Amino acid sequence: MKETDQNKESQNLEKRFLELSKTAYQRDIITFSDFLNLNEQNILHMLPKEKLSSRIVSFGGYDLAERQMAAFIPEALYLRYGKEELSAEEIGYPFCALRISPLNARFAEELTHRDYLGAVLSLGIDRSRTGDIVREGQDALIFVHRTMTGLIREELVRVRHTSVTTEEISLFEIHYVPSYEEIRGTVASVRLDSLLSLAFSQSRTRLTGLIEGAKVYVNGRLVTTNGYQPSEGDVVSVRGLGKFRFEYAGGRTRKNRLNVVISRYV
């Protein structure tokens, strides 16, 4: 996509977010975006607060979900509830989860995220109406807008060569926790490029290109500076590679390098 097209797309998205925020305020209701990818979430986060007419709370179905839906919530609603924060259930996000399971587990293929996504999109469903897809053993959970659940349940009968069935699950029955591996190592300093090199075992030269190429996000915000220093607890996402949480840094080696611990999601 050309840069001018990207700028126009970003401007249109900003306009849409501001309209949703204004509608929430004027009509005293909660409005919702579609599912947003990391780049779209970054555009949302970068909106000047003075232009917004409501609060924004994002949720993707479970902690650390990558694709999330934004809720635009009028301040008056917090006053009615008498709370500073509202739960996802109180907000009422218009999406649910579908569990996709093989009809015969014994003969099921080893299906990937790409397989499930391809099968769903082949039904004519736009990617913006679907959230994350996560594996649970031989099953998969896919988060989808409620308007899409009937179509998927009726039409999704096969993923690759595996016959499947789907069932709807309430968001509040899901207790999915991403798996991760703990990685310990040393770095000269807690710079973003150093942590990426440790997490993905790749050269800092290649990873620097990813940072400067606008493919690295920290807590959903785009970061393009190699020397950026994440804080403990920050979640770093790299498009095409994965994500990790920077746990902590503490103590130095004899060579004056910092000991760090990160959790890379698998």
Report, as ranges of residue numbers, the positions in the chain whose pLDDT lies below 50.
none
pLDDT of 250 reads: 86
Which run of H or of E encompasses 80? helix 75-81
Q: For 66-79, b where at least 16 C-beta lie within 10 A, e where not — what string?
A: bbbbbbbbbeebee
pLDDT of 116 reads: 96
The 8-class DSSP code of residue 231 comes to P
Q: How, if at all, do strands 216-218 and 235-238 pair?
A: antiparallel
Residue type, 151: L
Integer Cα distance of 192 and 194 in angstroms: 5
pLDDT of 179 reads: 87
CATH code that applies to domain 180-265: 3.10.290.10
pLDDT of 9 reads: 85
Task: State the residue for tokens 């080893």.
Answer: 110
| Sequence-distant (≥ 6) Cβ neighbours of residue 11 within 8 angstroms | none
| Sequence-distant (≥ 6) Cβ neighbours of residue 220 within 8 angstroms | 38, 41, 42, 45, 58, 68, 237
Tokens of 208: 């620097």
Integer Cα distance of 225 and 29 in angstroms: 38
Task: State the residue for tokens 């053993």.
Answer: 137
- The reply to whether domains 3-91 and 95-173 share a CATH topology is no
Integer Cα distance of 60 and 134 in angstroms: 12
pLDDT of 174 reads: 86
pLDDT of 6 reads: 65
The 8-class DSSP code of residue 220 comes to T
Question: Looking at domain 95-173, which CATH architecture does it have?
Answer: 2-Layer Sandwich (3.30)
Among the four given CATH numbers 3.30.450, 3.40.190, 1.10.287, 3.30.1370, the one describing domain 3-91: 3.30.1370
Q: For 106-137, b where at least 16 C-beta lie within 10 A, e where not — what string?
A: eebeebeeebbbebbeeeebeeebbbbbbeee
What is the pTM (predicted TM-score) of this model?
0.84
Tokens of 172: 């509040």
pLDDT of 251 reads: 87
Question: What does the domain layout of the chain look like in residue ranges?
Answer: 3-91, 95-173, 180-265
What residues form DSSP beta bridges with 218? 221, 236
Tokens of 61: 């179905």
pLDDT of 81 reads: 85
